[in-house]
Amino acid sequence: MKLTVVGTGYVGLVTGACFAEMGNDVLCVDVDEAKIKGLRRGELPIFEPGLKEIVARNVAAERLHFSTDIKEGVRFGTIQFIAVGTPPDEDGSADMRHVLAAARSIGQHMTDYKLVVNKSTVPVGTADAVREAIAQGQAARGVKVPYCVVSNPEFLKEGAAVEDFMRPDRIIVGADDERAVHLMQALYAPFQRNRDKLLIMDVRSAELTKYAANAMLATRISFMNELALLAEKLGADVDEVRRGIGSDPRISHHFLYAGCGYGGSCFPKDVKALLHSAEGVGEPLHVLHAVERANERQKQVLVDRIVERFGENLHGRRFALWGLAFKPDTDDLREAPSRVVIGKLLERGASVTAYDPAAMAEARRVFDGIERLDFASSANGALEGADALIIVTEWKAFRSPDFERMHALLRQPVIFDGRNLFDPLRMSEAGFEYVPIGRRTAPAVAAADLTRRAA
Ligand SMILES: NC(=O)c1ccc[n+]([C@@H]2O[C@H](COP(=O)([O-])OP(=O)(O)OC[C@H]3O[C@@H](n4cnc5c(N)ncnc54)[C@H](O)[C@@H]3O)[C@@H](O)[C@H]2O)c1
């Protein structure tokens, strides 16, 4: 099939590359000239495991092409994916400017039947608005060419995007047109050889499903984060509680890890957009409001603990920070908790030396010109002479470090662990003052251990 993907970011590039991998002819279009020039030179704008190889292979096979020419894009594919950004507007609603601009372009340039597939995360009712924008584009030219708009929200996870796209759990298609459904079935057939993963539903339900999924996941995280703070007050260990409840198949183990808050380009904005939509129709989502509030508080937890330990005034203190990306295996810093932690520490006069295995270039761009923030070229390099280490992202490379070396490098052996990477007892035995989230720390653990040994 001939496909055009409008918007070549995390979703658009992965979508384009994976469809090309299955033998389709794909043209990825973007308004960002630098991005397209880079892609034509073989440079990827994002870090995503496995993506570079797929892009290179399919460019070489001449199945994957890049362009900034939207007219060329519209003419190329029978199926037109819209995968542009939907960032939060000032009031929290999803900003639909890019989606509607893409739709208008399709209306302005199409000369034959198009199936327009919305992959961006968009509020319920957007398919109608896209349909209308295309109709306007055609009306301006005085033409009437057939087309259909369907919703196909994307569920890939950054860091595992290629794997998720190639082996999806489910493929949601919101459509009310038979021809469109047949095309979508044919397009996705290679991704579901062992079982049917296509869930076909009405367009509005498909649009809402995407927000519902992200809102549910954010809810689990905020619930565990609140439980972690409660566990500390009650002398319990949230990690034991996690194992205890996760083994119930009705609950499952996924997304039950307490930490220093969720971030990224999706959860915060999608929670906001869903809250906004719900308010708009007079059906407020009380649970989701609490989820958002809990997350705002959780992003402050690490800094609160640092202030408890080192005092309000952090002038003259230097902290090492491991992990800048909002989660491992990505270089995405959008809404990352590290940004809150760094901002608050700098505000209080501290200096920060940060390290991330993949996000250094992106961090240099995001934090350009910020004083008292510098970057180390290795995890241990950040520790030298620091008053404490703060762990913000759970990269695999941080999970089994050389504790002796860390102890020697740090000025004070203090670790604030926002991702609960280590065993509190082991940390205490290694001579660290270890501050995890919701876990029983050294004295409490030691007492429990003695009781166990005595028994
Ligand atoms: N990132 C994720 O993990 C993820 C997962 C599922 C769904 N989504 C959703 O997918 C959508 C895209 O997200 P993303 O992370 O890929 O965004 P992104 O910011 O990485 O990429 C969007 C791209 O669209 C381009 N663009 C904007 N307007 C355009 C236009 N009129 N024509 C052509 N290109 C245009 C931008 O230049 C940019 O390159 C969003 O709605 C997001 O919520 C994202």
Residue pointed to by tokens 């000032």:
90
- Our answer on whether the CB atom of 229 is closer than 6 Å to any ligand 1 atom is no
16 half-sphere exposure, CB direction, 13 A CA radius: 35
Looking at the annotation, which residues are catalytic?
266
Which residue out of 10, 100, 210 has the highest number of ligand 1 atoms within 8 Å of its CB and is therefore the one to mutate?
A: 10
Atom of ligand 1 nearest to the CA of 29: 33
Ligand 1 contact, 32 CB (< 6 A): yes
Tokens 């991005």 belong to which residue? 35
Closest residue by Cα to atom 37, ligand 1, is: 32
Per-residue three-class SS string for 240-285: HHHHHHHCCCCCCCCCCCCCCCCCCCCHHHHHHHHHHHHHHCCCCC
Instruction: Please give the radius of gyration of the chain, using alpha carbons only, rounded to the nearest integer.
Output: 24
Is the CB of 329 inside a 6 Å radius of any atom of ligand 1? Answer: no
- Helix-, strand-, coil-residue percentages of the chain, each rounded to 5: 45, 15, 40
3 state DSSP class of 89? coil
Three-state secondary structure call for residue 391: strand
**Torsions phi, psi for 35 (to 5 deg):** -65, -45
Write the DSSP string, 273-306: HHHHHHHHTT---HHHHHHHHHHHHHTTHHHHHH
Interval between CA 77 and ligand 1 midpoint (Å): 19
**Residue closest by Cα to atom 12 of ligand 1:** 85
Taking only the tens of pLDDT, the chain with its 455 residues reads 999 999 999 999 999 999 999 999 999 999 999 999 999 999 999 999 999 999 999 999 999 999 999 999 999 999 999 999 999 998 999 999 999 999 999 999 999 999 999 999 999 999 999 999 999 999 999 999 999 999 999 999 999 999 999 999 999 999 999 999 999 999 999 999 888 999 999 999 999 999 999 999 999 999 999 999 999 999 999 999 999 999 999 999 999 999 999 999 999 999 999 999 999 999 999 999 999 999 999 999 999 999 999 999 999 999 999 999 999 999 999 999 999 999 999 999 999 999 999 999 999 999 999 999 999 999 999 999 999 999 999 999 999 999 999 999 999 999 999 999 999 999 999 999 999 999 998 665 555 555 555 55
Q: Are 313 and 348 in contact (CB under 8 A)?
A: yes
Closest C-alpha to 336, from 393, 374, 285: 393
Contact 337, 265 (CB under 8 A): no
3-class secondary-structure state, position 2? strand
- Residue nearest atom 27 of ligand 1, based on CA coordinates: 84
Ligand 1 in contact with 332 (CB < 6 A)? Answer: no
Q: Is the CB of 337 under 6 A from ligand 1?
A: no
Instruction: Tell the residue nearest (CA) to atom 7 of ligand 1.
Output: 154
- Look at phi and psi of residue 350 and say left if phi exceeds 0, alpha if psi is from -120 to 50, else beta: beta
